[in-house]
Structure 1
């Protein structure tokens, strides 16, 4: 056994250069792998942010495509309506102030031409009411809905459009 150790010349030991070369290659591979993972992770998170921005942009585009409800405009009808009617042989009075609610200023302005017809329809409607029914909130709401239907019907007939969305009571007095 001593011969085997003696066979190797003292200057020829295992080369240290090969193990250093393996170490350098291993370090370079680890560094490249770390850089690759860093770039990949950055790209992943940034692209995910773009997807969120794209989704927001698509939502904004969808909002722009859907019609946006315009601001409500109110057109008061002046002067207030004062009507009288008989209730069980007793003279009763009702004073009602109205406002027309619409969304298009041009349509509301076009309806002003037909204001005498609207006033006539409202006077006829208000004077045909029952005092006891109007004393209850439900009766007032029913009257408001009937007034809305009358004005919408007249608006559709005369202008071809529903210029009025609702008729609102701004003052309601029964005596």
Structure 2
């Protein structure tokens, strides 16, 4: 009888071990599911806000209301640029094509009417850049802002709202 009493606590401790193991596995599975959602499924706050804004716009348009404040800009395509970069060896060049978003339809005509000034300003800007400045994503974002600033200086007013690179090749 003494042997039978020793086996009962062994069964209880093995049940406790199984329960603990099951709880640990459930926690790991929950953590993995949470991490998957966090990194792959959730929208960053900026995207979520933008999606909500677009949904609100679509809802008001669907209700038959007119949108008095048009936030959508017009796109104009600039001809491609091919410039040598300011690298010490002088062997690198940049081929860049871009679209420019403006906030008024008249600004498209202004840009097209001043193509020589626009091309000159952008060529001078691009040829002053080096490969190391443009290789990182931050450098490309800075370049977009600089192009918008230069174009707004030429136009004399803040007409250019965004710059989109459609081709960006460094050789």
Residue 88 (structure 1) shift:
2.7
Which of 149, 154, 160 matches 1:164?
Answer: 160
Residue 134 (structure 1) shift:
0.7
Deviations 1:46-77 (A, max 9, x none): xxxxxxxxxxxxxx9xxx9x951342210001
Tell me what 1:75 maps to: 76
Aligned residue runs from structure 1 range 83-122, under 5 A: 83-122=83-122
CA contact (8 A) 1:111 1:163 kept: no
Structure 1 portions without partners, runs of 5+: 1-59
Structure with larger Rg: 1
CA contact (8 A) 2:83 2:94 kept: yes
Change (3 A) 1:115 1:90: closer
Instruction: Report the count of equivalent residues.
Output: 107
Partner Cα distance (2:161, 2:83) in 1: 24
CA contact (8 A) 2:102 2:161 kept: yes
Residue 85 (structure 1) shift:
2.6
Change (3 A) 1:86 1:164: closer
Residue 170 (structure 1) shift:
1.2
Partner Cα distance (1:111, 1:165) in 2: 13
Residue 109 (structure 1) shift:
1.2
Structure 2 portions without partners, runs of 5+: 1-59
TM-score for the superposition, normalised by structure 1: 0.56
TM-score for the superposition, normalised by structure 2: 0.57
Residue 154 (structure 1) shift:
0.9
